[in-house]
Amino acid sequence: MKVLVVDDEAMIRNVLREYVEFEGGEVYEAADGMQAVMMCKQSDYDIILMDVMMPKLDGFSAVKEIRKVKNIPVIMLSARGEEYDKLFGFEMGADDYVTKPFSPKEVMARIHAVLKRNREEPTGDIITFEGLTVDMVGRNVYVDGEKVELTPKEYEILFYFVRNKGIALTREKLLMDVWGFDFYGDDRTVDTHVKMLRSNLGPYRKFIVTLRGLGYKFEA
């Protein structure tokens, strides 16, 4: 496990290094977003722990730049725990968001959870359900041959549905797995995003079935 720790505080980098190395991982360090972007262009990592507030280039901007060249999972680290910041982090492509001060053990648990989710994602074939085509790797969705533009969160929800095809998913589980288990949202957050996703899928909205009093199921 190769972990890139990006934080302008050496003490935080050292603490995270200690815990990652204790579990047999390799740690690489960057003190600002600019350095992190350059390192990602030159090397591959299994996951990035990215601070938000840093000199030269902030964490959100760094993630945006890294996503242009590499699809490496990212966990944001921030002293700002407001809902807006978390939503912005997820929209920028972060896989998880941890608020400072944090427990290093919690961060390690988040690392394992994110890596597990990424290992479970299909990494080869494009998946087709009638006229709905889902390209998990290219992050493309087509309805009857026409490319559909989704928001980052809508892509995540659809890919999550596809990975869990035929499984009943509660709103709580969707909040936990797609938004992160400490996201301070409610059922309406899930319903609103699913409604927007359905509107973009045209006739294939039928694949997202509402389970009354429970949640949703992807049936195709």
**pLDDT band (50, 70, 90) for residue 68:** confident
Mean pLDDT of all residues in 56-64: 91
Q: Are residues 75 and 137 in the same domain?
A: no
What global pTM score does this model have?
A: 0.60
Q: Are residues 42 and 87 in the same domain?
A: yes
**Structural domain count, the chain:** 2
Position 55 scores a pLDDT of 87
Buried b (16+ CB within 10 A) or exposed e, 75-105: bbbbeeeeeebbbbbbebbbbbbbeeebeee
Which range is least confidently modeled, 121-125, 130-134, 195-199, 200-204? 121-125
Q: Which helix (H) or strand (E) holds 151?
A: none
Which one of 66, 85, 120 terminates a domain? Answer: 120
Q: Which helix (H) or strand (E) holds 95?
A: none
Which one of 95, 120, 145 terminates a domain? Answer: 120
Which range is least confidently modeled, 89-93, 122-126, 136-140, 205-209? 122-126
Which one of 87, 120, 153 terminates a domain? Answer: 120
Q: Are residues 20 and 74 in the same domain?
A: yes
Q: How many CB atoms lie within 10 A of CB 178?
A: 20
Q: Are residues 116 and 181 in the same domain?
A: no
